[in-house]
Structure 1
Amino acid sequence: MSRAERGATDTDDPVAYFLDDITFQGKSQRTRDAYERVLREFEAYLTERGLGLDEANHRDCMAWIHQLRGSVGESTVATYASYLHRFYGYMTEVGTFEENPMALVLEEIDESINVDPERRDITVPAMRSFVADVTHPLDRAIIVTLLKTGVRAGELCNLDRRDLALSESPFEWSHRPQLDGKPDSIYVDDAPSAGQEYNGQPRTASNKRKRATTIPVDEELATVLVEWLAVRPDPRSGADPLFVSTTDEWGKRLTPDMVHHIVETHARDQGWYRDGGGAEENVTPHYFRHFFTTHLRDRTGDRGIVKYLRGDVAQDIIDTYTHDWGDRVREVYSDHIYRLL
């Protein structure tokens, strides 16, 4: 079918046209801004080469994506590629462009790229309302811990009580040496590996951090953890896991599947999860990591500290934040972490 037969749409500014349409579709201002930034950067890249957006072929797109590597992370490269894919796919559908050059590009680069990276956009007040409806001490502690620390489900399951230091608690236990001088914090090690013994107990999940990380615990998180410890069943394991089951497997260390089930149950009740829904729609433990990253980064403007807290940074950067942990990391975190209770 020719362009004329499909009813071509004339526009002097394809990017503006696309942005208007996704706004009409209900996309948030933050999403629109993200698309505009990426598309304008790509447009400028083409302009320097004497090309328009409608003239780019798959090699032009591939060359731009290739030059991104080294300046941004692979996950960002994937996001940029998927933004271009959606832009070209839409403009082809409405007849403005003849073809989508990104369709071939996505076959040639990392197959793990999500061609639809948009996630449900939940505000802090909406998340606060969600948390208010979670009353079970274990479920509440799990959800608030995930939201306040950005840890993965497996990393949460691997936490032992020694990995937690609280300055105000009616209970006593010995924290690990790495938390000496760092009150009100959680230590997330990079060592636990699925199938391997760690602290005297085989683990069912791996911690995927590049380096061990110490994460501050604010007053809200400390409160829900103390409430949980007050009713926590006696653990079956001598490793003293922080989170254990309160159902049929009473006292057993939680597994990622258990955590996913708990989060899914509450997300369904909120209308944030449905069978067949993808990562962009369903709220899962991994969504909470996305929420933590997005909102803390937007509030602090400090990508380095957010990367440190996520455990995503290399040794030289982590040395900087480890050395200055007591001042810079805790101060920035405490000043900007969102309130949920």
Structure 2
Amino acid sequence: MSSDTATPEPDEDPIGYFLDDVTYHGKSERTRAFYERVLREFQTYLSEGSHPTAVAAASHRDCMAYVHGLRGDHSESTVATYASYLHRFFAYMTQVGTFESNPMALVMEEMDESINTDPTRREISVAEMRAFVGTIGHPLERAVVLTLLKTGIRAGELCNLDLRDCNLSEPGPRPEVPVRAALDGREDSLYVASEPSRGAVTNGEERSASNKRKRDTTVPIDDELARTLRRWLAIRPDVRSDAEALFVSTSGDWGQRLTPDMVHHLVERHARDHGWYRDGGGTEENVTPHYFRHFFTTHLRDRTGDRGVVKYLRGDVAQDVIDTYTHEWGSRVRESYEANIYSLV
């Protein structure tokens, strides 16, 4: 159904009504087309079953059966993406009062995803984490912690970032280093490559850590993180390598690229001062750089209801989903991130 036709009544064609609203909200034609394909396939599935059902009357078992049926033909990451589209549709129609409930809510809870949270881990609210970040005054330390919390990248991936991997719309004081070609037109974003590995030379410098993500990923930078990075760049020392590491030491190893050990020590020191780390505490109790990845995953996933976007940002997804989100940078990843990322400053 084209967006230039009259909007259908929600009770007559809830999918058409939703698709028109998607357009009215400023989503791209590509985004609208993806929604239409998934939702119409689901509608066909319901109508062709042994007990034909209208979309508005779909139960959580109908949704669960549909999602389960996708697994034979699609990767788990693609299944998660389809499920997220259905979830958003039902959530929206419930919010506007057309549907009584969202049958996908229970399905999303029950889906067995690799990014499920560990129920034994310490649970920290956004407000508590905001208070923690507020205790960190040093520009480097605050930039490191906020980057980990706002992007979900690993400590090694953070250490491997070069200036060319950071494209700020207002760059502030920094050496004249061109950004990667992959960041052209993508201001306020980080490029997290899959290529660096420990002991190998990347961008002219031997690395002390490996990036573990499956694919190169472009991660948005929100206003809070952009301000924090500019503050850090204003005092960043001259570095010892032409690779121009983004994060370098300001202590005994002045100007040297941070290592994962340095990052772990930095986070442990602040977590210990905050009562979030003790010797022998283990992963259930201690807050570490890896905990920040858990925090990012949990809170952003719960806010977006979209496992696909979160898995893209984590670098956990297969090529088909990477291609989808790469092509939809402005309309899907960026918009979803900016609309849902938590405030920590």
TM over 0.5: yes
Aligned to 1:246: 250
The question of 1:209 aligning with 2:213 is answered yes
Amino acid at match of 1:191: E
Tell me which amino acid in the other structure corresponds to 1:161. Answer: L
TM-score, normalised via structure 2 length = 0.65
Residue in structure 2 matched with residue 260 of structure 1 by the alignment? 264
Which of 331, 335, 341 in structure 2 is aligned with 1:331? 335
1:130-187 CA-to-partner distances (Å, cap 9, x unmatched) read 0000000110000000000000000000000000000013235311100011000000
Structure 1 stretches of 4+ moved >6 Å: 68-73
Q: Which residue of 2 aligns with 1:224?
A: 228
State the partner residue of 2:316: 312
Paired residue secondary structure (1:224): helix
Find the counterpart in structure 2 of residue 119 from structure 1.
121
Q: Which stretch shifts more, 166-175 or 281-290?
A: 166-175
Aligned residue identity for 1:284: T
Equivalent residue letter for 2:153: V
Residue matched to 1:191: 195
Deviations 1:47-91 (A, max 9, x none): xxxxxxxxxxxxxxxxxxxxx999869xxxxxxxxxxxxxxxxxx
What residue number does 2:42 align with? Answer: none
AA at the equivalent of 2:272? R
The aligned counterpart of 2:293 is 289
Q: Give the structure 2 partner of residue 159 of structure 1.
A: 161
How high is the sequence identity, in percent, across the aligned residues? 68
Q: Which residue of structure 1 aligns with residue 204 of structure 2?
A: 200
Contact 2:172 2:233 in 1 (8 A): no
- Which AA in structure 1 matches 2:125? T
Match of 2:178 among 150, 154, 174: 174
Structure 2: give runs of 5+ residues left out of the alignment: 1-70, 78-117
1:71-129 CA-to-partner distances (Å, cap 9, x unmatched) read: 869xxxxxxxxxxxxxxxxxxxxxxxxxxxxxxxxxxxxxxxxxx85110000000000
Matched letter for residue 256 of structure 1: P
Q: 1:273 to 1:72 in 2, by over 3 A?
A: farther
Which of these two proteins has the greater Rg computed from alpha carbons? 1
3-state DSSP of counterpart to 1:214: strand
Q: 2:144 aligned with 1:142, yes or no?
A: yes
Which residue does the alignment assign to 2:130?
128
Helix, strand or coil at the partner of 1:279:
helix
* Distance across 2 between alignment mates of 1:252 and 1:156: 14
1:55 maps to which residue? Answer: none
Picking from 250, 269, 293, the partner of 2:273 is 269
Measure how far apart 1:242 and its partner are: 0.2
TM-score normalised to the size of structure 1? 0.66
Tell me the equivalent position of 1:58. Answer: none
- Give SS of 1:245's match: coil
Instruction: Work out the CA distance in 1 between the residues paired with 2:261 and 2:318.
Output: 29
CA deviation map 1:235-254 (0-9, x unaligned): 11110000000110100000
More relative contact order in 1 or in 2 (CA 8 Å, sep 6+)? 2
Give the structure 2 partner of residue 299 of structure 1: 303
CA displacement, residues 286-315 of structure 1 (integer Å, 9 cap, x when unaligned): 000000000000000000000000000000
Residues 301 and 307, structure 2, Cα contact 8 Å, conserved in 1: yes
SS in 2 for 1:193: coil
Coordinate RMSD, CA, aligned: 1.7
Paired positions, count: 232
**Who is 1:79 aligned against?**
none
> What is the identity, as a one-letter code, of the residue corresponding to 1:133?
T
Paired letter, 2:244: D
The equivalent residue for 2:26 is: none
